């Protein structure tokens, strides 16, 4: 299965699986924007997809794995699932499997990209590139806004893995992504200056 097709399948199944989980489907937005930027041939759309996949793992996958035992407990107790359980459980299992599969595919993709590193080149900035940069900026604003939430939770004694990981992961992802974009832009600028000077 192609990387893009796998990412689209992961987004669709995860949205369907988390549609009842108080806006958890919003965790797929960075990956969706990465797919859009990739379709528009943005220079660093691949990086945005990687960041989106890591964010999806740290949030949606973590939530699904944490809540899944509750479905198992309900099944053991009542020998059946009530409400939307019969629909959601298969979707959650499929979502967990697809997120893990997508992560593995992106890791393999990153290793291949590292081996076949392309020299920086100067080219016109397109719509896809603007999507990557604006998403990086908005994701950074969102990630560092979460610090307030984390400090509030810490103050009230609610420091648990279920709060710490989804709060700290976006901060780390945003920082690494922003630094990588700035370094890449600097290298492109230097390569352009060298080409103009020669």
pTM: 0.79
> Mind listing the pLDDT tens digit for each residue in 96-137?
899 999 999 988 888 887 776 655 556 667 888 889 999 999
For the residues 41-53, what does the mean pLDDT come to?
Answer: 86
Q: Which of 50, 89, 75 is nearest to 173 (CA)?
A: 50
> Mind listing the pLDDT tens digit for each residue in 10-38?
999 988 888 777 777 788 999 999 999 98
Q: How confident is the model at residue 81 (pLDDT cuts 50, 70, 90)?
A: low
Domain residue spans of the chain:
3-197
The CA angle 8-13-19, to the nearest 5 degrees, is 120
């Amino acid at each position: 299965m192609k990387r893009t097709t796998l990412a689209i399948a992961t987004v669709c199944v995860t949205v369907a699986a988390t549609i009842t989980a108080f806006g958890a489907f919003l965790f797929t937005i960075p990956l969706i924007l990465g797919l859009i930027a990739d379709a528009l041939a943005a220079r660093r759309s691949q990086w945005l997809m990687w960041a989106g996949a890591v964010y999806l793992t740290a949030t949606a996958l973590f939530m699904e794995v944490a809540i899944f035992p509750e479905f198992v407990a309900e099944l053991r107790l009542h020998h059946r699932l009530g409400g939307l359980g019969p629909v959601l459980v298969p979707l959650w299992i499929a979502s967990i499997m697809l997120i893990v599969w997508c992560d593995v595919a992106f890791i393999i993709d990153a290793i291949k990209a590292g081996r076949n590193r392309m020299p920086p080149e100067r080219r016109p900035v397109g719509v896809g590139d603007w999507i990557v940069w604006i998403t990086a900026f908005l994701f950074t604003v969102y990630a560092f806004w979460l610090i307030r939430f984390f400090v509030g939770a810490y103050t009230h004694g609610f420091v648990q893995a279920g709060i710490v990981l989804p709060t700290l992961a976006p901060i780390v992802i945003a920082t690494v992504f922003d630094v990588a974009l700035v370094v890449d832009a600097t290298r492109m600028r230097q390569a352009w200056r060298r080409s103009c000077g020669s």
